[in-house]
Structure 1
Amino acid sequence: MRVVGARTSDGSVFVGELSEDGGRVTVFADRDTFWASPAAHLEAGPGGPTLQLSAVTIVPPVVNNARVLCIGLNYLDHVKEGSFKDESLPEVPTLFARWPQSLSSDGAEVPVPSGEDGLDWEGEVVAWVGSRLVDATPEEALAAVVGYSTFNDITSRRAQKQTSQWIMGKNGDSSGPLGPMVPAAEVGDLRDGLQVQTRVNGEVVQHGSTAQMIYGVGETLAHISRSFTLNPGDLLATGTPSGVGYSRTPPWLLQPGDVVEVEIERLGVLTSHIVDNGHRLKTDHA
Structure 2
Amino acid sequence: MAYRDGGVRMMGALDGDKITPIAPVDDFYSDVSKAMATVLSEPTLALADVDQVPPVPTTARIFCVGINYHSHAGESKNLAGLDLPKFPMVFGRWASTLVTDGDPVPVPPNEPGLDWEVELAAVIGSKAWNVTGETALDHVFGYTAFNDLSARRKQLATPQFTVGKNADRSGPIGPAIVTSDEISPAELEVITRVNGEVMQHGNTRDLIHDVGAIVAYLSDTITLLPGDVIATGTPGGIGAGRNPQVFLQPGDVVEIEIEGIGTVSNPIVDRSDLDGAVS
Normalising to structure 1: TM-score of the pair?
Answer: 0.91
Could you list the per-position Cα deviations for residues 4-42 of structure 1 after superposition, in whole angstroms to 9, with x for gaps in the alignment?
111123x21111123412xx4321101111102223323
For 2:88, the aligned partner's letter is P
Where does residue 96 of structure 2 map in the other structure?
Answer: 101
User: What stretches of structure 2 of length at least 5 have no aligned partner?
Assistant: none
Where does residue 18 of structure 1 map in the other structure?
Answer: 14
Which deviates the most, 76-85 or 164-173? 76-85
Q: Return the alpha-carbon distance in structure 2 between the equivalents of residues 81 and 166 of structure 1.
A: 16
Q: CA deviation at 1:168?
A: 0.8
Equivalenced residues, count: 277
Q: Return the alpha-carbon distance in structure 1 between the equivalents of residues 245 and 84 of structure 2.
A: 24
1:149 is the counterpart of 2:149: no
For 1:198, the aligned partner's letter is T
Which deviates the most, 132-141 or 111-120? 132-141
Q: CA deviation at 1:269?
A: 1.2
Where does residue 72 of structure 2 map in the other structure?
Answer: 78
Residue of structure 2 aligned with 1:182, choices 169, 178, 185: 178
- The alpha-carbon distance between structure 1 residues 67 and 45, as it changes in their structure 2 partners (threshold 3 A), is farther
Could you list the per-position Cα deviations for residues 194-245 of structure 1 after superposition, in whole angstroms to 9, with x for gaps in the alignment?
0111111111110110000000111111110111111111000000000000
Residue of structure 1 aligned with 2:236, choices 230, 237, 242: 242
Residue of structure 2 aligned with 1:8, choices 5, 9, 27: 5
Deviating above 6 A after TM superposition, structure 1's stretches of 4 or more consecutive aligned residues are none
- CA contact under 8 A between 2:77 and 2:83: conserved in structure 1? no
Where does residue 207 of structure 2 map in the other structure?
Answer: 213
Q: Return the alpha-carbon distance in structure 2 between the equivalents of residues 80 and 151 of structure 1.
A: 22
Which deviates the most, 36-45 or 72-81? 36-45
From the two aligned structures, give the one with the greater strand fraction: 2
Secondary structure of the structure 1 residue equivalent to 2:121: strand
User: What stretches of structure 1 of length at least 5 have no aligned partner?
Assistant: none
Q: CA deviation at 1:44?
A: 3.6
Alignment RMSD (CA, Å): 1.9
Structure 1 segment 61-140 matched on structure 2, within 5 A = 61-83=55-77, 87-140=82-135
1:200 is the counterpart of 2:194: yes
- CA contact under 8 A between 1:153 and 1:176: conserved in structure 2? yes
